[in-house]
Amino acid sequence: MGNSDNENPYFARLQNAKKTRKWLLEQRGQKAAEALKKNAFDALYVDSLEAARTEILNRIPKGAKIGVGGSMTIRQTGVLDTLEKQGNVIYDHWKPGLSDEDVLKIRKAHLTCDVFLTSANAVTLEGALVSTDGIGNRVGAMTFGPNMVIVVAGVNKVVNDRESAFRRIKEVATPQVVRDMGLEVPCAVTGFCVDCNAPMRACRVTVILERKPFLSDIHVLIVGEDLGF
Ligand code: SF4
């Protein structure tokens, strides 16, 4: 008996189901991008990570100093390698071997860089970006400082409204982030938020960008793929 996908009796239905899912996510991603535009963000839905990568690189001026938040999504795009090869200075506090002092300097540099690359924890269909930080350099830089901010979010981060965004942060994003970082907080062990008082509690600053702030230039790319946490 063969075992190729083509011999699966449900192959055609399964392929169709994939397309159907992609269709639904695209509808949601496009609706979120339209809502963001109404709130003065420069927003775009793109189908793939490759398309996102091209859009990011097209937006970055030559020689720009790049800040990068603690974002798995941005690392997944692969743009940091390209930018480094192009000679752009990159402020990346995830680089191995940095001292605590270096990491702090880099976090501060995020606030004054030319282009800040990051993700958000949730994007609502009402056109808002919702993010929670432990330190606040990411949400600070998203709000004011850099000449340009590029936010990249997989369509898995699109939620209906703010309440859903807060729930996503506590139920989906943070437990994965803290486990990945090895932080000693309850949700890193159980996967469930208990609104903890742990010394390493990661949820300390929540920022909702409900409209583009006056002096910021914020580009949001919603990508039709499952990215980041
Ligand atoms: S409040 Fe504590 S338990 Fe809840 S998501 Fe944040 S770090 Fe985890």
Range of the domain at 143: 9-121+131-158+212-223
Q: Is residue 80 domain-resident?
A: yes
Stronger pLDDT, 218 or 4, i.e. the higher one? 218
Q: According to the model, what pLDDT value does residue 222 have? A: 98
Report whether residue 205 contacts ligand 1, using a CB cutoff of 6 Å.
Answer: no
Inform me whether the pLDDT recorded for 178 exceeds 60: yes
Backbone angles phi, psi at 165, to 5 degrees: -65, -45
Q: Is residue 189 domain-resident?
A: no
- Tokens describing residue 96: 């191995």
Q: According to the model, what pLDDT value does residue 5 have? A: 67
Inform me whether the pLDDT recorded for 142 exceeds 60: yes
Q: Among 167, 193, 197, 205, say which to mutate for ligand 1: greatest number of ligand atoms within 8 Å of CB.
A: 193
Q: Is residue 229 domain-resident?
A: no
Range 149-168 average pLDDT: 98
Q: What is each CA distance from 32 to 36, 123, 140, 143, 154, in whole angstroms?
A: 6, 7, 23, 19, 11
Contact 191, 121 (CB under 8 A): no
Q: Is residue 179 domain-resident?
A: no
Range 30-57 average pLDDT: 98
CA of 163 to the centre of ligand 1 (A): 16
Range 127-155 average pLDDT: 97
Q: Is residue 200 domain-resident?
A: no
Range 35-64 average pLDDT: 97
Which CATH number covers residue 40?
3.40.50
Q: Among 180, 196, 206, say which to mutate for ligand 1: greatest number of ligand atoms within 8 Å of CB.
A: 196
Q: Is residue 85 domain-resident?
A: yes
**CA-wise closest residue to 120 among 165, 167, 90, 60:** 165
Judged by DSSP in three states, 221 sits in strand
Question: Which is the closest atom of ligand 1 to the Cα of 169?
Answer: 5
CA of 122 to the centre of ligand 1 (A): 16
Q: According to the model, what pLDDT value does residue 197 have? A: 98
**CA-wise closest residue to 169 among 200, 134, 135:** 134
- Tokens describing residue 210: 């409900």
Report whether residue 196 contacts ligand 1, using a CB cutoff of 6 Å.
Answer: yes
Kindly indicate the confidence band of residue 8, based on its pLDDT and cuts at 50, 70 and 90: confident
Stronger pLDDT, 149 or 2, i.e. the higher one? 149
Question: Residues 6 or more apart from 194 whose CB is under 8 A from it?
Answer: 186, 187
**What's the structural domain count of the chain?**
1
Question: Which is the closest atom of ligand 1 to the Cα of 183?
Answer: 7
Q: Is residue 199 domain-resident?
A: no
The model's pLDDT over 194-227, given as tens digits with 9 standing for 90+, comes to 999 999 999 999 999 999 999 999 999 999 999 9
Kindly indicate the confidence band of residue 1, based on its pLDDT and cuts at 50, 70 and 90: very low
